[in-house]
Chain A
Amino acid sequence: MSKLLSRSLKRLMIYAGLVLVCSIPAYYFIFSRLWQYELNEHNVVITAEASREDSYLIIAFVTGLTVLFFALLIVGLILVNRRISNRLWQPFYRSLAQIKGFDLHRQQPVEFEKTDIDEFTELNQSLHKLIAGNVAVYNQQKEFADNASHELQTPLAIIQSKLDLLLQSQSLTDEQYNIIEEANKALARVTRINKNLLLLTKIENSQFMEKEQIDLSALLENTLPVLASFAEDKQLTLQTDIHPGVVVEGNKILIEILLNNLVTNAIRYSPANDVIAIRLDSQSLSIANAGTAPLKQEQLFKRFSSISSQTPGTGLGLALVKQISNRYGWQIDYAFSDRLHTFTLTF
Protein backbone atom coordinates (compact mmCIF):
# COMPACT_ATOMS: atom_id res chain seq x y z
CA MET A 1 0.00 0.00 0.00
CA SER A 2 1.55 3.29 -1.03
CA LYS A 3 0.67 6.78 -2.14
CA LEU A 4 0.03 7.46 -5.79
CA LEU A 5 2.48 10.37 -5.97
CA SER A 6 5.41 8.58 -4.31
CA ARG A 7 5.11 5.69 -6.75
CA SER A 8 5.43 7.66 -9.93
CA LEU A 9 7.94 10.06 -8.42
CA LYS A 10 10.27 7.21 -7.46
CA ARG A 11 10.39 5.85 -10.97
CA LEU A 12 10.86 9.21 -12.58
CA MET A 13 13.73 10.05 -10.22
CA ILE A 14 15.45 6.75 -10.97
CA TYR A 15 15.23 7.45 -14.70
CA ALA A 16 16.49 11.03 -14.38
CA GLY A 17 19.41 9.83 -12.24
CA LEU A 18 20.23 7.17 -14.83
CA VAL A 19 20.32 9.72 -17.64
CA LEU A 20 22.55 12.02 -15.62
CA VAL A 21 24.93 9.21 -14.73
CA CYS A 22 25.08 8.27 -18.44
CA SER A 23 25.88 11.85 -19.31
CA ILE A 24 29.13 11.83 -17.26
CA PRO A 25 31.06 9.42 -19.54
CA ALA A 26 29.59 11.16 -22.56
CA TYR A 27 30.93 14.52 -21.40
CA TYR A 28 34.29 12.94 -20.56
CA PHE A 29 34.53 11.26 -23.98
CA ILE A 30 33.60 14.35 -25.96
CA PHE A 31 35.99 16.60 -24.07
CA SER A 32 38.91 14.23 -24.36
CA ARG A 33 38.26 13.99 -28.13
CA LEU A 34 38.07 17.74 -28.34
CA TRP A 35 41.32 18.11 -26.44
CA GLN A 36 43.09 15.68 -28.70
CA TYR A 37 41.82 17.39 -31.78
CA GLU A 38 42.95 20.75 -30.51
CA LEU A 39 46.42 19.36 -29.74
CA ASN A 40 46.79 17.92 -33.20
CA GLU A 41 45.45 20.94 -35.00
CA HIS A 42 47.07 23.80 -33.20
CA ASN A 43 50.04 22.16 -31.49
CA VAL A 44 48.96 23.93 -28.33
CA VAL A 45 50.01 27.37 -29.19
CA ILE A 46 48.01 29.45 -26.85
CA THR A 47 47.38 32.75 -28.36
CA ALA A 48 44.66 35.09 -27.25
CA GLU A 49 42.84 34.44 -30.49
CA ALA A 50 43.10 30.66 -30.27
CA SER A 51 41.97 30.67 -26.69
CA ARG A 52 38.83 32.65 -27.62
CA GLU A 53 38.20 30.25 -30.50
CA ASP A 54 38.58 27.38 -28.07
CA SER A 55 36.08 28.75 -25.61
CA TYR A 56 33.50 29.18 -28.41
CA LEU A 57 34.08 25.61 -29.46
CA ILE A 58 33.71 24.35 -25.92
CA ILE A 59 30.54 26.35 -25.37
CA ALA A 60 29.10 24.97 -28.59
CA PHE A 61 29.86 21.39 -27.62
CA VAL A 62 28.62 21.72 -24.06
CA THR A 63 25.41 23.32 -25.29
CA GLY A 64 24.87 20.65 -27.93
CA LEU A 65 25.49 17.85 -25.48
CA THR A 66 23.26 19.36 -22.84
CA VAL A 67 20.44 19.84 -25.32
CA LEU A 68 20.85 16.23 -26.40
CA PHE A 69 20.63 14.92 -22.85
CA PHE A 70 17.81 17.27 -22.03
CA ALA A 71 15.88 15.93 -25.00
CA LEU A 72 16.69 12.40 -23.90
CA LEU A 73 15.51 13.22 -20.41
CA ILE A 74 12.25 14.78 -21.59
CA VAL A 75 11.35 12.11 -24.12
CA GLY A 76 12.24 9.43 -21.62
CA LEU A 77 10.23 11.10 -18.89
CA ILE A 78 7.20 11.34 -21.15
CA LEU A 79 7.47 7.69 -22.11
CA VAL A 80 8.08 6.51 -18.58
CA ASN A 81 5.30 8.72 -17.27
CA ARG A 82 2.89 7.34 -19.82
CA ARG A 83 3.77 3.78 -18.95
CA ILE A 84 3.55 4.39 -15.24
CA SER A 85 0.27 6.29 -15.60
CA ASN A 86 -1.26 3.57 -17.67
CA ARG A 87 -0.42 0.99 -15.09
CA LEU A 88 -0.97 3.15 -12.04
CA TRP A 89 -4.36 4.49 -13.16
CA GLN A 90 -5.75 1.12 -14.22
CA PRO A 91 -7.77 0.67 -10.99
CA PHE A 92 -9.09 4.21 -11.39
CA TYR A 93 -10.35 3.54 -14.91
CA ARG A 94 -11.91 0.28 -13.80
CA SER A 95 -13.77 2.07 -11.02
CA LEU A 96 -14.83 4.73 -13.51
CA ALA A 97 -16.22 2.08 -15.86
CA GLN A 98 -18.12 0.54 -12.94
CA ILE A 99 -19.70 3.88 -12.06
CA LYS A 100 -20.54 4.64 -15.67
CA GLY A 101 -22.25 1.29 -15.99
CA PHE A 102 -24.21 1.76 -12.78
CA ASP A 103 -27.91 2.36 -13.16
CA LEU A 104 -29.80 3.39 -10.04
CA HIS A 105 -32.97 1.93 -11.45
CA ARG A 106 -31.57 -1.54 -12.00
CA GLN A 107 -29.44 -1.45 -8.89
CA GLN A 108 -27.03 -4.21 -9.81
CA PRO A 109 -24.38 -4.45 -7.07
CA VAL A 110 -21.15 -2.52 -7.69
CA GLU A 111 -17.95 -4.35 -6.75
CA PHE A 112 -14.70 -2.37 -6.86
CA GLU A 113 -11.43 -4.32 -7.20
CA LYS A 114 -8.85 -4.14 -4.50
CA THR A 115 -5.90 -1.88 -5.29
CA ASP A 116 -2.63 -1.29 -3.43
CA ILE A 117 -2.77 2.47 -3.88
CA ASP A 118 -4.05 4.51 -0.94
CA GLU A 119 -5.95 7.12 -2.92
CA PHE A 120 -7.83 4.61 -5.02
CA THR A 121 -8.75 2.47 -2.06
CA GLU A 122 -10.10 5.57 -0.40
CA LEU A 123 -11.93 6.60 -3.57
CA ASN A 124 -13.51 3.16 -3.95
CA GLN A 125 -14.61 3.16 -0.35
CA SER A 126 -16.22 6.58 -0.72
CA LEU A 127 -17.92 5.60 -3.96
CA HIS A 128 -19.23 2.48 -2.34
CA LYS A 129 -20.65 4.52 0.50
CA LEU A 130 -22.14 7.08 -1.86
CA ILE A 131 -23.83 4.47 -4.03
CA ALA A 132 -25.17 2.55 -1.04
CA GLY A 133 -26.58 5.83 0.30
CA ASN A 134 -28.22 6.66 -3.00
CA VAL A 135 -29.73 3.23 -3.34
CA ALA A 136 -31.16 3.51 0.17
CA VAL A 137 -32.65 6.96 -0.50
CA TYR A 138 -34.01 5.80 -3.85
CA ASN A 139 -35.73 2.81 -2.29
CA GLN A 140 -37.09 4.99 0.47
CA GLN A 141 -38.49 7.47 -2.07
CA LYS A 142 -40.09 4.72 -4.07
CA GLU A 143 -41.64 3.30 -0.98
CA PHE A 144 -42.82 6.76 0.00
CA ALA A 145 -44.54 7.25 -3.36
CA ASP A 146 -46.33 3.95 -2.96
CA ASN A 147 -47.27 4.61 0.64
CA ALA A 148 -48.40 8.16 0.00
CA SER A 149 -50.62 6.81 -2.74
CA HIS A 150 -52.21 4.30 -0.41
CA GLU A 151 -52.50 6.61 2.54
CA LEU A 152 -54.19 9.37 0.56
CA GLN A 153 -56.41 7.34 -1.74
CA THR A 154 -58.13 5.45 1.04
CA PRO A 155 -59.42 8.53 2.92
CA LEU A 156 -60.39 10.01 -0.44
CA ALA A 157 -62.34 6.85 -1.19
CA ILE A 158 -64.12 7.11 2.15
CA ILE A 159 -65.13 10.73 1.50
CA GLN A 160 -66.32 9.81 -1.97
CA SER A 161 -68.41 6.89 -0.76
CA LYS A 162 -69.96 8.94 2.04
CA LEU A 163 -70.94 11.69 -0.40
CA ASP A 164 -72.51 9.08 -2.67
CA LEU A 165 -74.48 7.70 0.27
CA LEU A 166 -75.54 11.15 1.38
CA LEU A 167 -76.92 11.68 -2.10
CA GLN A 168 -79.33 8.80 -1.55
CA SER A 169 -81.06 10.53 1.40
CA GLN A 170 -84.77 10.94 0.78
CA SER A 171 -85.17 14.49 1.97
CA LEU A 172 -82.44 16.36 0.13
CA THR A 173 -83.10 19.92 -0.98
CA ASP A 174 -81.68 21.30 -4.23
CA GLU A 175 -79.33 23.39 -2.20
CA GLN A 176 -78.00 20.41 -0.29
CA TYR A 177 -77.60 18.48 -3.52
CA ASN A 178 -75.53 21.30 -4.98
CA ILE A 179 -73.31 21.37 -1.91
CA ILE A 180 -72.62 17.67 -2.39
CA GLU A 181 -71.88 18.22 -6.09
CA GLU A 182 -69.43 21.01 -5.31
CA ALA A 183 -67.65 18.73 -2.86
CA ASN A 184 -67.65 16.00 -5.51
CA LYS A 185 -65.98 18.25 -8.03
CA ALA A 186 -63.30 19.37 -5.59
CA LEU A 187 -62.72 15.77 -4.62
CA ALA A 188 -62.31 14.72 -8.25
CA ARG A 189 -59.71 17.45 -8.63
CA VAL A 190 -57.78 16.44 -5.53
CA THR A 191 -57.79 12.88 -6.82
CA ARG A 192 -56.36 13.93 -10.16
CA ILE A 193 -53.71 16.13 -8.58
CA ASN A 194 -52.70 13.30 -6.29
CA LYS A 195 -52.48 10.90 -9.21
CA ASN A 196 -50.37 13.26 -11.31
CA LEU A 197 -48.07 14.16 -8.43
CA LEU A 198 -47.41 10.51 -7.81
CA LEU A 199 -46.74 10.01 -11.48
CA LEU A 200 -44.24 12.89 -11.47
CA THR A 201 -42.51 11.46 -8.42
CA LYS A 202 -42.33 8.07 -10.06
CA ILE A 203 -40.81 9.48 -13.23
CA GLU A 204 -38.31 11.50 -11.19
CA ASN A 205 -37.40 8.38 -9.28
CA SER A 206 -36.52 6.83 -12.62
CA GLN A 207 -39.33 4.35 -12.64
CA PHE A 208 -40.85 3.41 -16.01
CA MET A 209 -37.36 2.69 -17.35
CA GLU A 210 -38.39 -0.12 -19.71
CA LYS A 211 -37.90 1.10 -23.24
CA GLU A 212 -39.22 -0.13 -26.54
CA GLN A 213 -39.53 1.02 -30.13
CA ILE A 214 -42.84 2.82 -30.42
CA ASP A 215 -44.63 3.62 -33.65
CA LEU A 216 -45.67 7.14 -32.70
CA SER A 217 -47.82 7.57 -35.79
CA ALA A 218 -49.90 4.52 -34.95
CA LEU A 219 -50.10 5.43 -31.27
CA LEU A 220 -51.32 8.92 -32.10
CA GLU A 221 -53.86 7.58 -34.60
CA ASN A 222 -55.18 5.28 -31.87
CA THR A 223 -55.28 8.00 -29.22
CA LEU A 224 -57.13 10.58 -31.27
CA PRO A 225 -60.47 8.77 -31.70
CA VAL A 226 -60.75 8.39 -27.92
CA LEU A 227 -60.12 12.09 -27.42
CA ALA A 228 -62.11 13.09 -30.47
CA SER A 229 -65.39 12.49 -28.68
CA PHE A 230 -64.41 15.18 -26.17
CA ALA A 231 -63.50 17.47 -29.02
CA GLU A 232 -66.93 16.82 -30.55
CA ASP A 233 -68.60 17.88 -27.34
CA LYS A 234 -67.01 21.29 -27.90
CA GLN A 235 -67.65 21.20 -31.65
CA LEU A 236 -63.92 21.23 -32.27
CA THR A 237 -62.42 19.95 -35.51
CA LEU A 238 -59.26 17.87 -35.32
CA GLN A 239 -57.12 18.55 -38.36
CA THR A 240 -54.40 15.95 -38.59
CA ASP A 241 -51.33 15.55 -40.75
CA ILE A 242 -49.62 12.43 -39.47
CA HIS A 243 -46.71 10.99 -41.41
CA PRO A 244 -46.79 7.21 -41.13
CA GLY A 245 -43.97 5.18 -39.60
CA VAL A 246 -42.50 7.70 -37.17
CA VAL A 247 -40.72 5.56 -34.62
CA VAL A 248 -39.29 6.72 -31.30
CA GLU A 249 -37.72 4.86 -28.43
CA GLY A 250 -39.32 5.22 -25.04
CA ASN A 251 -41.67 3.86 -22.43
CA LYS A 252 -45.14 3.25 -23.81
CA ILE A 253 -47.01 4.43 -20.72
CA LEU A 254 -45.05 7.66 -20.56
CA ILE A 255 -45.41 8.40 -24.26
CA GLU A 256 -49.16 7.81 -24.02
CA ILE A 257 -49.38 10.23 -21.09
CA LEU A 258 -47.38 12.78 -23.05
CA LEU A 259 -49.64 12.56 -26.11
CA ASN A 260 -52.80 12.56 -23.99
CA ASN A 261 -51.73 15.62 -22.02
CA LEU A 262 -50.77 17.67 -25.06
CA VAL A 263 -53.95 16.85 -26.98
CA THR A 264 -56.30 17.20 -23.99
CA ASN A 265 -54.73 20.57 -23.18
CA ALA A 266 -55.44 21.75 -26.71
CA ILE A 267 -59.03 20.52 -26.45
CA ARG A 268 -59.53 22.01 -23.02
CA TYR A 269 -58.19 25.48 -23.75
CA SER A 270 -59.44 25.88 -27.28
CA PRO A 271 -62.53 28.04 -27.74
CA ALA A 272 -65.57 26.09 -28.99
CA ASN A 273 -66.20 25.66 -32.74
CA ASP A 274 -62.53 26.01 -33.55
CA VAL A 275 -59.81 23.89 -35.14
CA ILE A 276 -56.98 21.94 -33.53
CA ALA A 277 -54.11 21.19 -35.87
CA ILE A 278 -51.96 18.16 -35.13
CA ARG A 279 -48.89 17.49 -37.21
CA LEU A 280 -46.36 14.68 -36.87
CA ASP A 281 -43.27 14.09 -38.98
CA SER A 282 -40.00 12.29 -38.38
CA GLN A 283 -38.49 15.25 -36.50
CA SER A 284 -41.29 16.73 -34.51
CA LEU A 285 -44.85 16.73 -33.26
CA SER A 286 -46.75 19.99 -33.17
CA ILE A 287 -50.19 20.73 -31.79
CA ALA A 288 -51.81 24.10 -32.39
CA ASN A 289 -55.05 25.57 -31.06
CA ALA A 290 -56.59 29.00 -31.17
CA GLY A 291 -56.08 31.50 -28.39
CA THR A 292 -56.25 35.19 -27.65
CA ALA A 293 -53.08 36.05 -25.75
CA PRO A 294 -49.67 34.39 -25.41
CA LEU A 295 -49.05 32.30 -22.31
CA LYS A 296 -46.16 32.97 -19.95
CA GLN A 297 -43.51 30.75 -21.47
CA GLU A 298 -41.18 30.55 -18.47
CA GLN A 299 -44.04 29.61 -16.13
CA LEU A 300 -45.72 27.19 -18.47
CA PHE A 301 -43.90 23.97 -17.64
CA LYS A 302 -43.61 24.55 -13.88
CA ARG A 303 -45.77 22.69 -11.44
CA PHE A 304 -48.97 24.43 -10.40
CA SER A 305 -47.97 27.60 -12.26
CA SER A 306 -50.93 27.54 -14.63
CA ILE A 307 -53.50 27.01 -11.94
CA SER A 308 -56.11 29.73 -11.64
CA SER A 309 -59.84 29.98 -11.19
CA GLN A 310 -60.33 29.84 -14.96
CA THR A 311 -58.23 26.74 -15.48
CA PRO A 312 -59.57 23.89 -13.46
CA GLY A 313 -56.84 21.50 -14.60
CA THR A 314 -54.43 19.91 -12.19
CA GLY A 315 -51.63 22.33 -12.99
CA LEU A 316 -49.39 19.36 -13.56
CA GLY A 317 -50.14 18.32 -17.13
CA LEU A 318 -47.39 20.30 -18.81
CA ALA A 319 -44.94 19.64 -15.99
CA LEU A 320 -45.44 15.97 -16.78
CA VAL A 321 -44.92 16.61 -20.49
CA LYS A 322 -41.68 18.46 -19.71
CA GLN A 323 -40.46 15.75 -17.36
CA ILE A 324 -41.09 13.02 -19.92
CA SER A 325 -39.45 15.02 -22.74
CA ASN A 326 -36.40 15.59 -20.55
CA ARG A 327 -36.13 11.89 -19.88
CA TYR A 328 -35.71 11.16 -23.59
CA GLY A 329 -33.70 14.27 -24.44
CA TRP A 330 -36.53 15.78 -26.45
CA GLN A 331 -37.23 19.47 -26.70
CA ILE A 332 -40.66 20.90 -25.88
CA ASP A 333 -41.31 24.43 -27.09
CA TYR A 334 -44.19 26.83 -26.97
CA ALA A 335 -44.89 29.63 -29.41
CA PHE A 336 -47.73 32.06 -29.99
CA SER A 337 -48.33 33.59 -33.40
CA ASP A 338 -51.31 34.39 -35.60
CA ARG A 339 -53.55 33.85 -32.57
CA LEU A 340 -52.39 30.24 -32.33
CA HIS A 341 -50.85 28.49 -29.34
CA THR A 342 -48.41 25.96 -30.72
CA PHE A 343 -46.62 23.30 -28.72
CA THR A 344 -43.80 21.60 -30.57
CA LEU A 345 -42.04 18.49 -29.43
CA THR A 346 -38.73 17.91 -31.22
CA PHE A 347 -37.24 14.42 -31.03
Chain B
Amino acid sequence: MKILIIEDEAALAQSMGAYLSDENYLCEFAATYKEAIDKIDVYEYDCILLDLMLPGGDGIKILEEIKAQQKQDGVIIISAKNSLEDKIKGLQIGADDYLTKPFHLSELAARIYSIIRRKQFGNANIVTQNELSINLPAKTVTVNDQPVTLTRKEFDLLLYFISNKNKVISKSALAEHLSGEIADMLDSYDFVYVHIKNLKKKLQEAGCSNYLKTLYGTGYKWEI
Protein backbone atom coordinates (compact mmCIF):
# COMPACT_ATOMS: atom_id res chain seq x y z
CA MET B 1 0.00 0.00 0.00
CA LYS B 2 1.49 3.30 -1.05
CA ILE B 3 0.67 6.54 0.65
CA LEU B 4 1.72 10.04 -0.36
CA ILE B 5 1.97 12.53 2.47
CA ILE B 6 1.72 16.08 1.16
CA GLU B 7 2.57 18.21 4.17
CA ASP B 8 5.00 21.11 4.51
CA GLU B 9 5.48 20.74 8.25
CA ALA B 10 8.37 18.27 8.42
CA ALA B 11 7.83 17.25 12.04
CA LEU B 12 4.21 16.34 11.39
CA ALA B 13 4.92 14.57 8.11
CA GLN B 14 7.58 12.51 9.84
CA SER B 15 5.22 11.49 12.67
CA MET B 16 2.58 10.39 10.21
CA GLY B 17 5.18 8.48 8.21
CA ALA B 18 6.58 6.76 11.30
CA TYR B 19 3.15 5.66 12.54
CA LEU B 20 1.88 4.48 9.16
CA SER B 21 5.08 2.69 8.09
CA ASP B 22 4.59 0.18 10.90
CA GLU B 23 1.25 -0.78 9.42
CA ASN B 24 2.67 -2.04 6.13
CA TYR B 25 2.12 1.25 4.40
CA LEU B 26 4.89 2.59 2.21
CA CYS B 27 5.02 6.34 2.71
CA GLU B 28 6.37 8.97 0.36
CA PHE B 29 6.60 12.64 1.13
CA ALA B 30 6.06 15.92 -0.69
CA ALA B 31 6.63 19.20 1.10
CA THR B 32 5.80 21.68 -1.63
CA TYR B 33 3.15 22.17 -4.27
CA LYS B 34 5.58 21.38 -7.07
CA GLU B 35 6.94 18.22 -5.48
CA ALA B 36 3.40 17.02 -4.95
CA ILE B 37 2.35 17.63 -8.54
CA ASP B 38 5.51 15.92 -9.84
CA LYS B 39 4.86 12.81 -7.76
CA ILE B 40 1.18 12.61 -8.62
CA ASP B 41 1.95 12.88 -12.33
CA VAL B 42 4.27 9.90 -12.23
CA TYR B 43 3.06 7.48 -9.55
CA GLU B 44 -0.15 5.88 -8.39
CA TYR B 45 -0.99 5.92 -4.69
CA ASP B 46 -3.57 4.07 -2.65
CA CYS B 47 -4.15 7.10 -0.52
CA ILE B 48 -2.99 10.71 -0.61
CA LEU B 49 -2.91 12.86 2.54
CA LEU B 50 -3.26 16.44 1.41
CA ASP B 51 -2.53 19.55 3.44
CA LEU B 52 -4.34 22.50 1.90
CA MET B 53 -1.84 25.22 2.79
CA LEU B 54 1.36 24.53 0.97
CA PRO B 55 4.31 26.64 -0.07
CA GLY B 56 4.01 27.37 -3.76
CA GLY B 57 0.32 26.76 -4.27
CA ASP B 58 -3.13 25.90 -3.01
CA GLY B 59 -3.76 22.29 -2.03
CA ILE B 60 -7.20 22.43 -3.62
CA LYS B 61 -5.47 22.78 -7.02
CA ILE B 62 -3.63 19.51 -6.39
CA LEU B 63 -6.94 17.85 -5.69
CA GLU B 64 -8.36 19.28 -8.92
CA GLU B 65 -5.30 17.97 -10.76
CA ILE B 66 -5.78 14.45 -9.32
CA LYS B 67 -9.41 14.47 -10.38
CA ALA B 68 -8.59 15.91 -13.80
CA GLN B 69 -6.22 13.01 -14.41
CA GLN B 70 -9.06 10.66 -13.42
CA LYS B 71 -6.89 8.94 -10.83
CA GLN B 72 -8.46 6.51 -8.46
CA ASP B 73 -6.23 7.48 -5.50
CA GLY B 74 -8.14 8.05 -2.29
CA VAL B 75 -7.63 11.56 -0.95
CA ILE B 76 -7.87 12.76 2.65
CA ILE B 77 -7.63 16.49 3.14
CA ILE B 78 -5.75 17.45 6.27
CA SER B 79 -6.36 21.05 7.03
CA ALA B 80 -5.66 23.50 9.80
CA LYS B 81 -8.71 25.44 8.74
CA ASN B 82 -11.80 24.15 10.36
CA SER B 83 -14.04 26.00 7.98
CA LEU B 84 -17.15 24.41 6.66
CA GLU B 85 -16.80 26.05 3.24
CA ASP B 86 -13.37 24.46 2.74
CA LYS B 87 -14.70 21.12 3.82
CA ILE B 88 -17.69 21.20 1.49
CA LYS B 89 -15.56 22.48 -1.37
CA GLY B 90 -12.98 19.74 -0.84
CA LEU B 91 -15.54 16.97 -0.70
CA GLN B 92 -17.36 18.36 -3.72
CA ILE B 93 -14.22 18.33 -5.82
CA GLY B 94 -13.80 14.72 -4.89
CA ALA B 95 -11.82 14.27 -1.69
CA ASP B 96 -12.85 11.14 0.21
CA ASP B 97 -12.47 12.57 3.69
CA TYR B 98 -11.55 15.70 5.61
CA LEU B 99 -9.54 15.74 8.82
CA THR B 100 -8.93 18.87 10.89
CA LYS B 101 -5.67 19.46 12.69
CA PRO B 102 -4.86 18.47 15.33
CA PHE B 103 -5.80 14.80 15.08
CA HIS B 104 -4.73 11.52 16.65
CA LEU B 105 -2.54 9.36 14.44
CA SER B 106 -4.83 6.46 15.23
CA GLU B 107 -7.75 8.46 13.82
CA LEU B 108 -5.76 9.10 10.66
CA ALA B 109 -4.92 5.41 10.34
CA ALA B 110 -8.59 4.48 10.77
CA ARG B 111 -9.66 6.89 8.02
CA ILE B 112 -6.97 5.66 5.64
CA TYR B 113 -7.90 2.07 6.34
CA SER B 114 -11.56 2.65 5.62
CA ILE B 115 -10.89 4.50 2.35
CA ILE B 116 -8.44 1.95 1.03
CA ARG B 117 -10.80 -0.91 1.91
CA ARG B 118 -13.71 0.83 0.24
CA LYS B 119 -11.73 1.63 -2.91
CA GLN B 120 -10.29 -1.82 -3.31
CA PHE B 121 -13.06 -4.11 -2.21
CA GLY B 122 -16.21 -2.12 -2.85
CA ASN B 123 -19.21 -4.11 -1.68
CA ALA B 124 -17.22 -7.28 -1.03
CA ASN B 125 -15.47 -5.44 1.75
CA ILE B 126 -15.14 -8.09 4.44
CA VAL B 127 -12.28 -8.07 6.93
CA THR B 128 -11.42 -11.48 8.26
CA GLN B 129 -9.14 -12.26 11.15
CA ASN B 130 -9.13 -15.92 12.21
CA GLU B 131 -12.57 -16.59 13.66
CA LEU B 132 -13.65 -12.94 13.44
CA SER B 133 -15.20 -11.53 10.30
CA ILE B 134 -16.42 -7.97 9.79
CA ASN B 135 -18.65 -6.95 6.90
CA LEU B 136 -17.89 -3.24 6.48
CA PRO B 137 -20.68 -2.09 4.13
CA ALA B 138 -23.34 -4.05 6.02
CA LYS B 139 -21.82 -3.17 9.40
CA THR B 140 -22.22 -6.73 10.68
CA VAL B 141 -19.84 -8.94 12.65
CA THR B 142 -19.63 -12.71 12.88
CA VAL B 143 -17.51 -14.97 15.07
CA ASN B 144 -17.16 -18.55 13.81
CA ASP B 145 -19.96 -17.69 11.37
CA GLN B 146 -22.27 -16.82 14.23
CA PRO B 147 -23.55 -13.23 14.10
CA VAL B 148 -22.69 -10.90 16.98
CA THR B 149 -24.96 -7.92 17.56
CA LEU B 150 -22.98 -4.77 18.29
CA THR B 151 -24.20 -1.24 18.89
CA ARG B 152 -23.06 1.43 16.45
CA LYS B 153 -20.41 2.65 18.88
CA GLU B 154 -19.11 -0.83 19.59
CA PHE B 155 -18.84 -1.55 15.86
CA ASP B 156 -17.06 1.77 15.43
CA LEU B 157 -14.58 0.88 18.16
CA LEU B 158 -13.93 -2.58 16.75
CA LEU B 159 -13.11 -1.11 13.37
CA TYR B 160 -10.91 1.51 14.98
CA PHE B 161 -8.90 -1.22 16.73
CA ILE B 162 -8.66 -3.35 13.59
CA SER B 163 -7.30 -0.42 11.60
CA ASN B 164 -4.73 0.26 14.34
CA LYS B 165 -3.49 -3.28 14.88
CA ASN B 166 -0.71 -3.71 17.41
CA LYS B 167 -0.77 -0.04 18.33
CA VAL B 168 -1.32 1.41 21.75
CA ILE B 169 -4.40 3.62 21.66
CA SER B 170 -5.05 5.98 24.52
CA LYS B 171 -8.43 6.46 26.09
CA SER B 172 -8.46 10.10 25.06
CA ALA B 173 -8.01 9.18 21.38
CA LEU B 174 -10.93 6.77 21.65
CA ALA B 175 -13.07 9.36 23.42
CA GLU B 176 -12.38 11.86 20.70
CA HIS B 177 -13.17 9.33 18.01
CA LEU B 178 -16.46 8.35 19.62
CA SER B 179 -17.66 11.87 20.33
CA GLY B 180 -16.94 13.01 16.79
CA GLU B 181 -18.06 16.55 16.04
CA ILE B 182 -19.39 17.17 19.53
CA ALA B 183 -15.91 17.50 20.97
CA ASP B 184 -17.18 19.62 23.84
CA MET B 185 -18.54 16.48 25.41
CA LEU B 186 -15.07 15.27 26.24
CA ASP B 187 -14.74 16.18 29.93
CA SER B 188 -15.24 12.68 31.14
CA TYR B 189 -13.62 9.82 29.33
CA ASP B 190 -15.46 7.26 31.40
CA PHE B 191 -18.03 6.50 28.74
CA VAL B 192 -15.25 4.94 26.62
CA TYR B 193 -14.66 2.30 29.24
CA VAL B 194 -18.30 1.20 29.23
CA HIS B 195 -18.37 0.71 25.46
CA ILE B 196 -15.08 -1.20 25.43
CA LYS B 197 -16.17 -3.43 28.27
CA ASN B 198 -19.38 -4.30 26.38
CA LEU B 199 -17.51 -4.92 23.13
CA LYS B 200 -15.02 -7.23 24.87
CA LYS B 201 -17.80 -9.12 26.61
CA LYS B 202 -19.84 -9.63 23.45
CA LEU B 203 -16.86 -10.87 21.47
CA GLN B 204 -15.75 -13.23 24.20
CA GLU B 205 -19.22 -14.65 24.69
CA ALA B 206 -19.35 -15.41 20.96
CA GLY B 207 -16.12 -17.38 21.29
CA CYS B 208 -13.66 -14.84 19.94
CA SER B 209 -10.19 -14.95 21.47
CA ASN B 210 -9.14 -11.95 23.47
CA TYR B 211 -7.26 -9.76 21.00
CA LEU B 212 -8.04 -6.55 22.82
CA LYS B 213 -5.50 -6.03 25.58
CA THR B 214 -5.62 -3.37 28.26
CA LEU B 215 -2.29 -1.66 28.88
CA TYR B 216 -1.14 0.74 31.56
CA GLY B 217 -4.62 0.86 33.07
CA THR B 218 -6.43 2.90 30.44
CA GLY B 219 -4.63 2.20 27.16
CA TYR B 220 -5.76 -0.41 24.65
CA LYS B 221 -4.09 -2.54 22.01
CA TRP B 222 -5.52 -4.94 19.42
CA GLU B 223 -2.88 -7.66 19.33
CA ILE B 224 -2.49 -10.31 16.66
Contact = CB atoms under 8 A, between A and B. Distances in A.
Given A233-B190, A314-B184, A154 B80 contact: yes
B100 interface: yes
Contact of B102 (A160, A233, A253, A313): A160
B12 A158 contact: yes
A314 B191 CA distance: 20
Contact of A181 (B53, B170, B191): B170
B184 A313 contact: yes
Q: Is the interface of B mostly helix, strand, loop or mixed?
A: mixed
Interface stretch (A44-52, A70-78, A133-141, A223-231): A223-231
Interface string A159-179: 111101101100011100110
B182 A160 contact: no
B-side interface size class: 35 or more
Nearest to B78: A157
B126 interface: no
A184 B172 contact: yes
A159 to B, nearest CB: 7
Contact of A168 (B16, B101, B167, B179): B167
Interface stretch (B117-125, B136-144, B210-218): B210-218
Contact of A146 (B18, B81, B187): B81
Contacts of A317: 184
B204 interface: no
Contact of B9 (A158, A191, A226, A268): A158
Interface string A317-346: 100000000000000000000000000000
B146 interface: no
A172 B216 contact: yes
Contacts of B189: 185
B105 A164 contact: yes
B191 A230 contact: yes
Interface string A184-200: 11011001100100100
B196 interface: no
B171 interface: yes
A180 interface: yes
Interface string B21-38: 010000000000000000
A165 B183 contact: no
Nearest to A190: B102
A188 B176 contact: yes
Contacts of A161: 11-12, 15-16, 19, 102, 105
Interface string B206-224: 0000000001111100000
Given A158-B11, A192-B184, A167 B102 contact: no
Contacts of A233: 190-191, 194
Q: In this complex, which of A191, A192, A312 has the most chain B Cβ atoms within 10 angstroms of its Cβ? A: A191
Contacts of A153: 80-82, 100-102
A149 B102 contact: no
Contacts of B191: 230, 233
B202 interface: no
Nearest to B169: A167
B15 to A, nearest CB: 3
A164 B104 contact: yes
Given A149-B82, A181-B171, 19 more contacts: A150-B81, A153-B81, A154-B9, A157-B102, A158-B12, A160-B103, A160-B104, A164-B19, A164-B104, A167-B168, A168-B19, A174-B216, A181-B170, A181-B219, A187-B102, A188-B176, A195-B183, A264-B185, A313-B187
6 contacts: A150-B80, A156-B102, A158-B12, A158-B15, A184-B170, A191-B102
Interface of A: 146, 149-150, 153-154, 156-162, 164-165, 167-168, 172-174, 177-178, 180-181, 184-185, 187-188, 191-192, 195, 198, 226-227, 229-230, 233, 253, 260-261, 264, 267-268, 312-314, 317
Minimum-distance CB pairs A-B, first 7: A161-B15, A177-B216, A157-B102, A233-B191, A157-B101, A153-B80, A160-B102
